[in-house]
Amino acid sequence: MNSKIIGTGSYIPPKTKYNNTFLNHSFLDVDGNPIPSENDEIINKFESITGIKERKYVSDSLTSSDIGFEASKNAIKTSNIDPETIDYIILAHNIGDVAQGSNQVDAMPSLASRVKSKLGIENPNCVAYDILFGCPGWLEGVIQAHAFIKAKMANRCLVIGSETLSRVIDPNDRDGMIFADGAGAVIIDSSEGNSGVLSHKTVTYSDNGEANYIFYGKSNNLKSDNTKYIKMKGRKVYEFALNKVPDAMKKCFDECGHNIKSLKKIFIHQANQKMDEAIIKRFYKLYNSKVPENILPMNIEEFGNSSTATIPTLLDLVIKENYNGHEIKKGDIILFASVGSGMNINAVSYQY
């Protein structure tokens, strides 16, 4: 028994926030001091490193469970299934439902339960729960769904990644320009064929302070209230990812039984363009190979970093729209990989 993706869906928020909209921000360092550069210089450097030119934000009336529901509806429609046949709904997020203008995290009941309710699923045997695993949360949800199906505990799962990170961005922190909103979802079904999940790998590093590389912290404006925002030790995250992610990817791919030359696409968490490209270069170096052309779909330039939603959103765009010239053909071997707070890393090799 294996598991395979039979349908994808996404929700792309309507509001586009361009880099030039940050020109009037007051950027401060962690000590509350003004950064000694003009804002246009800060933004140009940010764009050259991250590749981000714009990002998507949700409208004021929507929350993470709302857009997770929309992505799920799309995945269910694509799959052409009865939602009552779903055994598990697994929803990955980082901050719960944070309403516009609120600083309070709302995750009770779980966002997955809210999505189940919005979908109108009446079957009590459809179990809904959230997963908090940082940016790799959606991919870890895929791994869990695969485990349920392999163990014959489920036949069909809905796995969602949904975020509204724009609600927890510190306006005085230049790293806040990275984060965005969005939702992606897949239906994973049991399969007897060769397609589907081939291998997977997950690791957590926390013994050398890695657990605090991405965290909730106070504003860089030390005079502000005690509201907390998403924070990141950017340099440490970058160095950690380059040192640890390629090895995890290789261990995963080596277990799938295919030659590295057969790998057609890598869907990596859209965290930072320069970092992602460096990770892929180091991954191929482990095989004494050069990075093949057109191996790496990217949408961070247009969508920013929406954490758990980046991979399923990009996958949906590539499958349905051949996004930026990328396509997946039947039989293609692909690799998913992600890194994020925890610090967690995971990877999945997959035959389409």
Task: Give me the tens of pLDDT residue by residue for the chain, a chain 352 residues long.
Answer: 889 999 999 999 999 999 999 998 888 888 888 998 899 899 999 999 999 999 999 999 999 999 999 999 999 999 999 999 999 999 999 999 998 888 778 889 999 999 999 999 999 999 999 999 999 999 999 999 999 999 999 999 999 999 999 999 999 999 999 999 999 999 999 988 788 999 999 999 988 889 999 998 888 888 888 888 999 998 999 999 999 999 999 999 999 999 999 999 999 999 999 999 999 999 999 999 999 999 999 999 999 999 999 999 999 999 999 999 999 999 999 999 999 999 999 999 999 9
Indicate whether 169 and 212 sit together in one domain. Answer: no
Q: Domain holding 67: CATH number?
A: 3.40.47.10
Indicate whether 27 and 138 sit together in one domain. Answer: yes
pLDDT of residue 351: 96
Indicate whether 86 and 144 sit together in one domain. Answer: yes
Rounded to 5 degrees, φ, ψ at 87 are -90, -35
Indicate whether 85 and 160 sit together in one domain. Answer: yes
**Per-residue CA distances from 343 to 135, 136, 146, 233 (Å):** 10, 10, 22, 12
Indicate whether 174 and 273 sit together in one domain. Answer: no
Indicate whether 222 and 297 sit together in one domain. Answer: yes
Rounded to 5 degrees, φ, ψ at 146 are -60, -40
Q: Tokens 């598991």 belong to which residue?
A: 3
pLDDT of residue 191: 85
pLDDT of residue 208: 85
8 Å CB contact between 314 and 182: no
Indicate whether 250 and 273 sit together in one domain. Answer: yes
8 Å CB contact between 258 and 205: no
Indicate whether 155 and 242 sit together in one domain. Answer: no
Indicate whether 92 and 170 sit together in one domain. Answer: yes
Contacts of 269 (CB under 8 A, 6+ apart): 135, 136, 139, 276, 307, 310, 311, 337, 338, 339, 340
Does residue 349 sit in helix, strand or coil?
strand
192 vs 190: CA distance, rounded Å: 7
Examine the fold and report which residue of 144, 162, 191 is the final residue of a domain before the chain moves on.
191
Examine the fold and report which residue of 147, 174, 191 is the final residue of a domain before the chain moves on.
191
pLDDT of residue 32: 85
DSSP 8-state symbol, 291: P
Examine the fold and report which residue of 130, 161, 191 is the final residue of a domain before the chain moves on.
191
pLDDT of residue 36: 87
pLDDT of residue 167: 94
Could you list the residue range(s) of the whole structural domain that residue 226 is in? 197-351
Indicate whether 184 and 222 sit together in one domain. Answer: no
CA within 13 Å, CB half, 5: 29
325 vs 24: CA distance, rounded Å: 36
Angle at CA 135, nearest 5°, toward 161 and 21? 90
Indicate whether 184 and 271 sit together in one domain. Answer: no
The structural domain count of the chain equals 2
Indicate whether 144 and 273 sit together in one domain. Answer: no
pLDDT of residue 79: 96
